[in-house]
Amino acid sequence: IVPLALAWDLGASRWSAEQRVRFANDPANLLAVAGKSNQDKGDKQPALWMPANRAFWCQYAMQYIEVLRGYGLPVDEPSVPVLREATGTCPTS
């Protein structure tokens, strides 16, 4: 969900090796996807890439935010409006 290189740029560079390994293997941050989708996403933040399936935006955004929060990482500024839009697709009831 949160690319390793992006996490590094957002603050993981200051983590211990143990914490970086935990992040890289955290099931909350892993998602099985087709190879093409994974290649398209690469190390991009939500401002530059969101899933093609808009029906998945809510789940993707919520999981992305939770992973960042769980590891004390900030949301990059350009991704804030994109994540707001994505969470706006979440069911309200």
The pTM of this model reads 0.91
**For the segment 2-59, what is each residue's pLDDT rounded down to a tens digit?**
999 999 999 999 999 999 999 999 999 998 776 777 678 888 999 999 999 999 999 9
**For the segment 22-37, what is each residue's pLDDT rounded down to a tens digit?**
999 999 999 877 677 7
- CA geometry: angle 2, 6, 29, nearest 5 deg: 15
DSSP states of the chain: ---HHHHHHHTGGGS-HHHHHHHHT-GGG-----HHHHHHHTT--TTT---S-GGGHHHHHHHHHHHHHHTTPPPPGGGHHHHHHHHTTS---
Does residue 71 surpass a pLDDT of 90?
yes
Does residue 93 surpass a pLDDT of 90?
no
Tell me if 63 sits within 8 A of 1, measured CB to CB: yes
